[in-house]
Amino acid sequence: MDEDEKREVEIIKPPPTDAPEEPIEAYTLARCAAIAARIARRPEETSAVLEASRLSSERWEAAHERWLAAIRAETGRGKKARLSEYDAADVKALEEERGPISAEEYARLVIAAERGQSQDALVELGLPGEAMMRIRRVWLARIVKDAAEAARVRTAMRAAADA
């Protein structure tokens, strides 16, 4: 089991009740993004998600804001490495919970956004309302790197537009 898989297990498996909170530095950008995605997808289970991640509400806000501020500072300088890392970890966590977002689902989301119906499409696909931009950025990066995936998306876009 690699380090990322171990971290995933730690996030899901509740710690013993007497386990101390980890230092803020232990909550990496990717780990915070994954926690944020789980909270966004299941807001009614925020307490359980935070407990499983060994975080109080206050420490969660501090850890998450630390990374959001770093992302804002970096994007303010015209860079986006941290934003891309955050997006990728967020979408990965969403996909772990609900299954991979397919090319057809991505196309459906894009067409729905063009028609002003993105919120409905996100809900139907079991995705949080605030996930749209992250999903789009992750998929844009994916199709730039993978010609076959780009072709699948183009085909799915034509089908979704005709539906």
Q: How far is CA 87 from CA 43, 78, 146, in A?
A: 19, 17, 18
Q: Is the pLDDT of residue 77 over 80?
A: yes
Structural domain of 116: 101-163
The neighbour count for residue 48, using CB atoms within 10 Å, is: 13
The encoded tokens of residue 13 equal 């498996």
pLDDT value at position 107? 97
In this structure, are 156 and 107 located in the same domain? yes
In this structure, are 74 and 116 located in the same domain? no
**C-alpha–C-alpha distance, residues 35 and 24, integer Å:** 14
In this structure, are 2 and 72 located in the same domain? yes
Q: Is the pLDDT of residue 4 over 90?
A: no
Is 120 part of a structural domain of the chain? yes
Is 96 part of a structural domain of the chain? no
Mean pLDDT (the chain) is 90
Is 83 part of a structural domain of the chain? no
Residue 11's nearest CA partner among 163, 120, 79, 28 is: 28
Is 58 part of a structural domain of the chain? yes
What's this model's pTM, rounded to 2 decimal places? 0.83
In this structure, are 60 and 106 located in the same domain? no
Summarize pLDDT for 9-27 with one digit per residue, the tens. Answer: 454 554 445 566 778 888 9
Based on the structure, what is the number of domains in the chain? 2
Separation of CA 77 from chain center: 23
Which whole number is the average pLDDT over 109-118? 95
pLDDT value at position 19? 60
In this structure, are 24 and 69 located in the same domain? yes
In this structure, are 105 and 73 located in the same domain? no
- % of the chain surpassing 70 pLDDT: 88
Weakest-pLDDT range from 10-24, 37-51, 55-69, 90-104: 10-24
Q: How far is CA 49 from CA 4, 38, 39, 60, 101, in A?
A: 18, 7, 7, 10, 22
In this structure, are 70 and 114 located in the same domain? no
